[in-house]
C-alpha cells in the first residue's frame, strides 16, 4: 500500500506553547481520520484565537496528551532543537500464522510530520549584550512577544490549512470506512520514544530526506 | 460500509447516490449554519432574526439521531439548517448558496462598532454603507459557500485508482461516500478556521451587546459578486468528490480578517455600552403615563437598563438620549471627577439638546477620542451623576471626598452632602477605591452597582473584565451581602427595582414633598403601588382649592348643581389618598382653614341670598 506523507510547515514555538500547538495539530489530523460516527468537540485555544476540532474520543485525547507530555519532558532535556513529531496511520494485517510467527503487521498508509523549532524561553538576540538587554524597554519586549505570538498564530493557521488541503487532495489511499471503527489506528512518534543516538540519527535522516519511506 | 446507506430505501444505485448527494447538501448546510448562527441569547440584540435557537444549538443530546449517522458526523441540532433547506422543493442539481452576512443592527446609527470590526476586513464595507438613511442595508457578505452537484462532466469510467480497482458500482458508491465523509470533516474544520468564525465566537462568548450580527442566509436568488468584490475575497475550493455521474463541489469565498483578536473587541466595547445604558427611556412613560418625564433625566436609567436587552424597545421608543447613556468605565469616571479639566468641559444638559443632535454629538466625540478612556463618555457621566445627586437618595460614604465632590458637583445646587455624610466611611484610600466611593456618592448604591457592571463590560478586554474579582473589590466596599455580580443585577432588578425608580420618578416630578412618600413606603413596595401613589399625588389638587370646593358643596347640598358634590368626593378622596403628603399639615390646621372658609362662604351666601338668586352660588 502506498504511504502518503505530509510534511507540515515548521513552527517556531516556545516551550510553553508546545502543548497547545501540538494538541491543535494532532487532534486536527486525527479528526480527519476519525471516520466512524463521531460527535465533534470544538476547542478554543487559550494562547491563540484558533478553534480546532476533536473527534470526541477519550482514548484519542489521552493518547495525544500522553505523547505531548513525553515530548515536552524530552524537550526540557534537549532544548533549542529542531525536531519532528510523526503521526502514522496504519492498518493491521495479520500475517499467515506459522509455527514461530503469529505476527500482527502494521501497514502504514499515511504519515504526518510536524516540524517544530523549539526556542529558548528567554532567548536573547545574538549580538546583544546583557547591558543592551537591560536597556531594552519592557514595552518593546512585550511588543516583540506579541508580534511573535501573532506570527505563530498565523503559521499555526497555515498548518491547519495545509492539513485540510492534504486531506482534500489525497483521499484515495484512505482505507474504507469500517463499521464500528471510530478512528483509524495511529501511532505518534516523538524524539523521546527513540531517545538514543541512533534514534536521533534516524530522525535527522528523516528530516533531511523528507520522504522517509522506511515505515511504509 | 455505513449502515445508513443501506437504509436509503432504494434499490437502485443511482437512487442511493442521489440520496448521498442530497444528504451531503443537507450536512454541508448544517455544518455551515451551525457555525455561523450565533445563539439566540438575551444578550444578542435582535433575537427575532436569529435562525438558530440557543437551547437547541448549544445543547448536544447524547442520543444519536438518524441524520447524525449520515457521514458519521453527529452535529448539534440546528433546526434552521433543515428549514432553510427546503427538502421537498430543492433539486440536487441546483447549487446551494449560503451567504454569511454581517449586518449592522438597524438602530446602530453610529457605526463605530461596525467600522471597528469591518475595517479589519480586507474589502471594507459594502457600498450600502454610504446610504446612512437606509440602515437596514448596512450589511456585508463576508462569506459565500457554494455547494453544488456538477453533473455536466459525466465521468463514466472513473479515473480514480480506487474506482479502477473496484468495478462494482456498489463499491463506487462506497468510495464516493467515504470521500464525501472526508470532505465534510475538512469542511467542519474549515468553517472554524475562517475569519467569520471569530466573529461568531465573539458574538457567542462575550456578554456584550454587539451592534452587528451574523446572519447566514440561503438566498433563492443569488446575486453574483461584482468583479471588485470578488477580487477582494479569497477563495477556497475543496477537492470535488467524484460520484457516479458527476461531481460534488464545495467552495467558499471569504473576506480575510486581519488580526481580529487584538483590535476588534477593544474599541467596540464602549460603543456597545452607549446603547446598553442609554437608549431605553420610554418604558417608564408607559408605566406612569401621568408623569411628564424629562428625557435624559438620569433617575430613569435603572429602569431602562434592564430593557435595553429587548429588541422592541428600539423600534418603539424614541431614542431617549445617548448623551446621558454613555457609560464610562469606572476609572474614566473617576478620572473625570477628580481631574477638573475634564469636568469643566461639561456639555449642555441632555435635556437642552434635541435628541438627534445629541446622538450625533456623542458619536463625534466618540470618534474623536480613543474609546477606552474617552473623556466624552466621562463627561456625560458626570452630567448624569450630578443630575442624579439632585434627586436620588444617594449615600455619601466618604466625608473625606467632600472637597472633591463639591468641586465636581458645583453645578448642582441641590446637593445635600450633610444628609449622607454620616453613612459609611471609606475604608481604603486607594485610587480605585476612592473612585468607587465617589461613584457611590454620585450614583447612589443601586446605580453604582449598575455602573460598576457597565464598567466591567466596557473594559478593553471583555473576557478578563468579567471576572468577578474586579467586582468583588467593589463589593468589599459596600459591606453588603446582597451586592451581586454586575450582571446579576438583571434578575434582581425585576423584584427590587420597584422602589428606587418610583422614588426617582416622583422626585423628577414633584420636587419637595415626595421624599416622604418614598420614605414611607416599604422598600419592597410594588411598582404598581408606587405608580398609583405618584399618579394620585399628581392628580391631587392643592389643599386650598380642595377645601374651598368642599366648602362650597357642603353649603350647597340643597342646590340642583351636582358638580360641587362630585368635586367634593374627588377632593375628599384625594385628601385621604394624599394624606401622607399632607400629613405634615396637621388636621387641625386644615380644619381651621376649613372653618374660616366656611365663615367666608356663609357671608357670601347670605349676601348673595339677599342680592340675587341662588344661581350665584355655583359661581363662587
Question: How many domains is chain B built from?
Answer: 3
| Cβ-count burial B601-610 (b if 16+ within 10 Å, e if not) | beeebeebee
CA-to-CA distance for B222 and B220, rounded, in angstroms? 6
State whether B464 and B587 are in the same domain.
no
Q: Note whether A49 contacts B238, CB cutoff 8 Å.
A: no
**Dihedral sign from CA coordinates of B132, B136, B139, B141:** negative
- Nearest chain A Cα distance for residue B175, angstroms: 7
Q: Which has more pLDDT, B438 or B143?
A: B143
State whether B31 and B57 are in the same domain.
yes
Identify whether the C-beta of residue A25 lies closer than 8 Å to the C-beta of residue A163: yes
| The domain boundary residue, chosen from B220, B238, B263 | B263
Mutate to test the interface with A, among B74, B189, B190, B196 (most CBs of A within 10 A): B189
- Structural domain harbouring B331: 266-534
User: Three-state SS for B21?
Assistant: helix
Q: Which of A22-36, A98-112, B119-133, B471-485 has the lowest mean pLDDT?
A: B471-485
* B532: Cβ contacts below 8 Å, ≥ 6 apart: none
Q: Which residues pair with B104 in a beta bridge?
A: B212
Residue A145 domain-assigned (yes or no): no
> Residue B51 has what pLDDT?
37
Q: Average pLDDT, stretch A173-177?
A: 89
| pLDDT above 90: residue B281 | no
CA-to-CA distance for B427 and A215, rounded, in angstroms? 71
Nearest to B73 among A28, A38, A172 (CB): A38
Mutate to test the interface with A, among B27, B185, B240, B242 (most CBs of A within 10 A): B185
State whether B212 and B120 are in the same domain.
yes
CA-to-CA distance for B122 and B90, rounded, in angstroms? 34
Chain A's closest residue to B66, CA to CA, is A37
pLDDT in tens, B209-246: 666 777 777 777 777 787 877 778 888 999 888 887 78
Q: Average pLDDT, stretch B536-549?
A: 59
Distance separating the N- and C-terminal Cα atoms of chain A: 8
Q: Identify all chain A residues contacting B259, using CB atoms and an 8 Å cutoff.
A: 150
Nearest to A168 among B1, B160, B239 (CB): B239
Chain A's closest residue to B3, CA to CA, is A179
| Cβ-count burial B364-394 (b if 16+ within 10 Å, e if not) | ebbeeeebbbbbbbbbbbbbbbbbbbbbbbb
CATH, residue B238: 3.30.900.10
Binned at pLDDT 50, 70 and 90, residue B596 comes out as confident
pLDDT in tens, B339-376: 333 333 333 343 333 333 333 333 333 333 333 333 33
Binned at pLDDT 50, 70 and 90, residue A134 comes out as low
C-alpha cell at A56: 470526541
Element holding B216 (H helix, E strand): strand B212-217
| pLDDT above 80: residue A61 | yes
Residue A203 domain-assigned (yes or no): yes
CB of A50 within 8 Å of any CB in chain B? yes
CATH, residue A171: 3.30.900
Binned at pLDDT 50, 70 and 90, residue B100 comes out as confident
Chain A with chain B: Cβ pairs closer than 8 A: 91
Mutate to test the interface with B, among A177, A180, A181 (most CBs of B within 10 A): A177
* Cα angle: B321, vertex B324, B330; to 5 degrees: 145
Q: Identify all chain A residues contacting B261, using CB atoms and an 8 Å cutoff.
A: 49, 153
Strands (E), B536-611: none
| pLDDT above 60: residue B582 | no
> Residue A24 has what pLDDT?
94
CA-to-CA distance for B35 and B189, rounded, in angstroms? 10
Q: Identify all chain B residues contacting A177, using CB atoms and an 8 Å cutoff.
A: 1-2, 72, 174, 177-178, 181
Q: Which has more pLDDT, B285 or B27?
A: B27
State whether B529 and B573 are in the same domain.
no
Residues written for chain A: 216
CB of A180 within 8 Å of any CB in chain B? no
State whether B508 and B577 are in the same domain.
no
State whether B202 and B294 are in the same domain.
no
Q: Note whether A168 contacts B193, CB cutoff 8 Å.
A: no
> Residue B573 has what pLDDT?
44
C-alpha cell at B287: 408605566
Percent of chain A's residues with pLDDT above 70: 75
Chain A's closest residue to B205, CA to CA, is A44
Q: Which of B32-36, B223-227, B247-251, B490-494 has the lowest mean pLDDT?
A: B490-494
Nearest to B181 among A35, A163, A172 (CB): A35
Nearest to B72 among A35, A42, A53 (CB): A35
Identify whether the C-beta of residue B305 lies closer than 8 Å to the C-beta of residue B280: yes
Chain B's closest residue to A28, CA to CA, is B189
Among residues A33, A24, A118, A27, the alpha carbon closest in space to that of A73 is found at A118
Q: Average pLDDT, stretch B365-394?
A: 36
Binned at pLDDT 50, 70 and 90, residue B204 comes out as confident
- Nearest chain A Cα distance for residue B208, angstroms: 18
| pLDDT above 80: residue B17 | yes
- Nearest chain A Cα distance for residue B129, angstroms: 29
User: What is the ipTM, given to two decimal places?
Assistant: 0.84
Mutate to test the interface with A, among B192, B199, B247, B463 (most CBs of A within 10 A): B192
Element holding A118 (H helix, E strand): strand A104-119
Residue A109 domain-assigned (yes or no): yes
**Dihedral sign from CA coordinates of A51, A56, A58, A63:** negative
C-alpha cell at B109: 446609527
What is the dihedral angle through the alpha carbons of B200, B206, B208, B213, rounded to the nearest 10 degrees? 10
Binned at pLDDT 50, 70 and 90, residue B9 comes out as very low
| pLDDT above 60: residue A184 | yes
State whether B375 and B439 are in the same domain.
yes
Q: Which has more pLDDT, B531 or A156?
A: A156
DSSP, res B58: H
State whether B348 and B367 are in the same domain.
yes
C-alpha cell at A55: 473527534
> Residue A87 has what pLDDT?
93
C-alpha cell at B461: 478586554
User: Three-state SS for B104?
Assistant: strand
- Nearest chain B Cα distance for residue A49, angstroms: 7
Identify whether the C-beta of residue A117 lies closer than 8 Å to the C-beta of residue A14: no
Distance separating the N- and C-terminal Cα atoms of chain B: 102
User: Three-state SS for A4?
Assistant: strand
Nearest to B185 among A31, A37, A153 (CB): A31
Q: Note whether B1 contacts A177, CB cutoff 8 Å.
A: yes
Q: Note whether A167 contacts B69, CB cutoff 8 Å.
A: no
State whether B228 and B311 are in the same domain.
no
| pLDDT above 50: residue B147 | yes
Chain B's closest residue to A44, CA to CA, is B201
Binned at pLDDT 50, 70 and 90, residue A27 comes out as very high
Percent of chain B's residues with pLDDT above 70: 29
Strands (E), A127-194: 186-189
pLDDT in tens, B118-136: 444 444 444 443 333 334 4
Residue A92 domain-assigned (yes or no): yes
CA-to-CA distance for A44 and A51, rounded, in angstroms? 4
Question: How many domains is chain A built from?
Answer: 1
Residue A182 domain-assigned (yes or no): yes
Q: Average pLDDT, stretch B179-183?
A: 92
- In three-state form (DSSP H/G/I as H, E/B as E, the rest C), the secondary structure along B235-261 is EEEEEEEEECCEEEEEEEEECCECCHH
State whether B239 and B361 are in the same domain.
no
**What is the rounded average pLDDT for all residues in chain B?**
54
pLDDT in tens, B432-452: 333 333 333 333 334 334 444
| pLDDT above 60: residue B465 | no
- Nearest chain B Cα distance for residue A95, angstroms: 23
* B539: Cβ contacts below 8 Å, ≥ 6 apart: B290, B574
Residue A134 domain-assigned (yes or no): no
State whether B242 and B315 are in the same domain.
no
Identify whether the C-beta of residue B311 lies closer than 8 Å to the C-beta of residue B48: yes
> Residue A111 has what pLDDT?
94
Burial class (CB in 10 A: 0-12, 13-18, 19+), B498: buried
Q: Which has more pLDDT, B235 or B516?
A: B235
> Residue A207 has what pLDDT?
57
Residues of chain B in Cβ contact (below 8 Å) with chain A = 1-3, 60, 64, 68-69, 72-75, 160-162, 174-175, 177-179, 181-183, 185-186, 188-190, 192-193, 197-198, 201, 238-239, 259-262
Q: Average pLDDT, stretch B260-279?
A: 37
> Residue B82 has what pLDDT?
62
Nearest to B68 among A37, A157, A161 (CB): A37
Nearest to A174 among B64, B182, B193 (CB): B182
Q: Average pLDDT, stretch B534-538?
A: 73
| pLDDT above 80: residue A107 | yes
Cα dist. A78→A119, A200, B220 in Å?
Answer: 11, 11, 59
- Structural domain harbouring A98: 4-124+150-209
Identify whether the C-beta of residue B564 lies closer than 8 Å to the C-beta of residue B554: no
Binned at pLDDT 50, 70 and 90, residue B167 comes out as low
Q: Note whether A37 contacts B3, CB cutoff 8 Å.
A: no
State whether B466 and B588 are in the same domain.
no
* B563: Cβ contacts below 8 Å, ≥ 6 apart: B618
| pLDDT above 70: residue B301 | no
Q: Identify all chain A residues contacting B74, using CB atoms and an 8 Å cutoff.
A: 37-40
> In chain A, how long is the greatest CA-to-CA distance?
74
Amino acid at each position: 500500500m502506498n504511504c502518503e506523507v505530509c510534511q507540515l510547515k515548521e513552527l517556531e514555538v516556545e516551550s510553553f506553547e508546545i502543548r497547545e500547538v501540538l494538541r491543535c495539530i494532532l487532534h486536527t489530523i486525527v479528526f480527519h481520520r476519525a471516520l466512524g460516527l463521531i460527535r465533534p468537540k470544538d476547542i478554543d485555544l487559550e494562547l491563540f484565537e484558533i478553534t480546532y476540532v476533536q473527534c470526541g474520543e477519550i482514548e484519542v485525547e489521552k493518547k495525544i496528551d500522553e505523547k505531548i507530555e513525553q515530548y515536552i519532558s524530552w524537550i526540557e532535556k534537549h532544548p533549542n532543537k529542531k525536531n519532528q513529531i510523526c503521526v502514522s496511520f496504519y492498518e493491521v494485517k495479520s500475517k499467515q500464522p506459522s509455527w514461530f510467527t503469529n505476527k500482527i503487521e502494521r501497514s502504514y498508509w499515511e504519515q504526518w510530520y510536524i516540524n517544530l523549532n523549539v526556542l529558548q524561553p528567554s532567548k536573547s538576540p545574538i549580538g546583544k549584550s546583557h547591558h543592551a538587554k537591560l536597556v531594552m524597554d519592557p514595552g518593546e519586549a512585550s511588543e516583540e512577544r506579541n508580534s511573535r505570538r501573532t506570527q505563530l498564530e498565523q503559521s499555526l493557521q497555515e498548518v491547519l490549512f495545509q492539513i485540510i488541503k492534504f486531506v482534500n487532495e489525497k483521499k484515495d489511499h484512505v482505507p474504507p470506512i469500517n463499521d464500528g471503527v471510530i478512528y483509524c489506528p495511529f501511532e505518534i512518534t516523538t524524539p523521546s520514544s527513540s531517545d538514543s543516538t541512533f534514534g536521533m540519527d534516524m530522525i535527522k535522516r528523516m528530516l533531511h530526506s523528507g520522504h522517509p519511506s522506511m515505515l511504509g | 460500509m455505513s449502515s445508513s446507506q443501506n437504509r436509503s430505501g432504494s434499490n437502485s444505485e443511482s437512487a442511493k447516490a442521489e440520496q448521498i448527494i442530497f444528504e451531503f447538501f443537507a450536512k454541508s448546510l448544517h455544518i455551515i449554519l451551525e457555525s455561523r448562527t450565533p445563539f439566540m441569547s438575551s444578550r444578542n440584540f435582535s433575537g427575532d432574526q436569529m435562525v438558530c435557537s440557543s437551547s437547541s444549538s448549544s445543547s448536544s443530546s447524547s442520543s444519536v439521531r438518524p441524520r447524525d449517522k449520515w457521514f458519521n458526523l453527529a452535529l448539534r441540532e440546528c433546526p434552521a439548517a433543515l428549514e432553510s433547506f427546503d427538502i421537498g422543493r430543492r433539486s440536487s442539481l441546483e447549487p446551494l448558496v449560503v451567504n454569511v452576512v454581517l449586518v449592522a443592527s438597524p438602530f446602530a446609527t453610529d457605526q463605530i462598532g461596525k467600522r471597528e470590526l469591518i475595517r479589519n476586513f480586507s474589502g471594507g464595507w459594502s457600498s450600502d454603507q454610504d446610504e446612512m438613511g437606509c440602515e437596514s442595508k448596512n450589511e456585508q457578505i463576508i462569506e459565500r459557500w457554494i455547494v453544488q452537484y456538477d453533473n455536466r462532466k459525466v465521468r463514466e469510467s472513473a479515473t480514480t485508482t480506487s474506482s479502477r480497482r473496484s468495478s462494482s458500482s456498489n463499491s463506487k458508491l462506497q468510495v464516493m461516500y467515504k470521500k464525501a465523509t472526508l470532505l465534510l470533516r475538512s469542511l467542519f474544520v474549515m468553517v472554524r478556521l475562517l475569519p467569520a468564525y471569530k466573529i461568531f465566537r465573539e458574538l457567542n462568548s462575550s456578554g456584550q451587546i454587539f451592534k452587528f450580527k451574523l446572519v447566514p442566509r440561503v438566498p433563492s436568488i443569488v446575486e453574483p459578486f461584482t468583479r471588485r468584490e470578488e477580487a477582494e475575497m479569497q477563495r477556497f475550493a475543496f477537492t470535488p468528490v467524484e460520484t457516479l455521474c458527476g461531481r460534488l463541489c464545495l467552495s467558499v469565498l471569504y473576506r480575510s480578517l486581519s488580526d481580529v483578536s487584538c483590535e476588534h473587541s477593544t474599541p467596540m466595547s464602549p460603543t456597545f455600552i452607549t446603547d446598553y445604558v442609554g437608549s431605553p427611556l420610554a418604558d417608564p412613560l408607559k408605566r406612569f403615563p401621568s408623569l411628564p418625564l424629562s428625557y435624559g433625566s438620569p433617575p430613569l436609567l435603572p429602569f431602562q437598563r434592564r430593557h435595553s436587552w429587548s429588541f422592541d424597545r428600539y423600534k418603539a421608543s424614541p431614542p431617549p438620549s445617548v448623551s446621558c447613556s454613555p457609560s464610562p468605565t469606572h476609572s474614566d469616571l473617576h478620572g473625570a471627577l477628580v481631574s477638573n479639566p475634564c469636568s469643566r468641559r461639561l456639555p449642555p444638559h441632555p435635556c437642552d439638546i434635541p435628541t438627534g443632535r445629541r446622538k450625533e454629538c456623542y458619536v463625534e466625540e466618540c470618534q474623536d477620542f480613543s474609546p477606552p478612556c474617552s473623556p466624552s463618555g466621562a463627561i456625560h457621566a458626570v452630567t448624569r451623576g450630578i443630575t442624579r445627586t439632585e434627586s436620588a437618595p444617594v449615600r455619601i460614604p466618604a466625608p473625606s471626598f467632600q472637597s472633591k465632590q463639591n468641586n465636581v458637583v458645583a453645578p448642582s445646587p441641590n446637593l445635600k452632602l450633610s444628609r449622607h455624610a454620616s453613612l459609611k466611611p471609606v475604608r481604603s484610600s486607594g485610587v480605585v477605591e476612592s473612585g468607587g466611593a465617589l461613584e457611590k456618592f454620585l450614583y447612589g448604591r443601586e446605580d453604582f452597582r449598575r455602573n460598576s457592571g457597565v464598567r466591567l463590560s466596557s473594559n478593553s478586554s471583555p473576557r478578563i473584565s468579567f471576572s468577578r474579582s474586579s467586582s468583588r473589590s467593589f463589593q468589599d466596599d459596600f459591606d453588603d451581602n446582597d451586592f451581586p455580580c454586575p450582571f446579576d443585577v438583571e434578575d434582581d432588578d425585576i423584584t427590587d427595582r420597584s422602589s428606587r425608580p418610583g422614588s426617582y420618578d416622583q422626585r423628577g416630578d414633584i420636587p419637595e414633598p415626595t421624599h416622604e412618600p418614598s420614605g414611607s413606603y416599604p422598600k419592597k413596595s410594588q411598582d404598581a403601588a408606587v405608580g398609583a401613589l405618584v399618579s394620585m399625588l399628581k392628580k391631587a389638587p392643592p389643599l386650598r382649592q380642595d377645601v374651598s370646593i368642599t366648602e362650597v358643596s357642603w353649603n350647597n347640598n340643597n342646590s340642583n348643581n351636582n358638580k360641587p358634590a362630585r368635586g367634593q368626593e374627588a377632593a375628599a378622596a384625594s385628601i385621604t389618598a394624599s394624606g401622607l403628603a399632607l400629613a405634615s399639615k396637621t388636621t387641625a390646621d386644615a380644619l381651621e382653614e376649613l372653618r374660616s372658609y366656611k365663615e367666608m362662604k356663609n357671608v357670601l351666601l347670605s349676601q348673595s341670598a339677599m342680592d340675587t338668586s341662588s344661581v350665584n352660588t355655583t359661581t363662587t
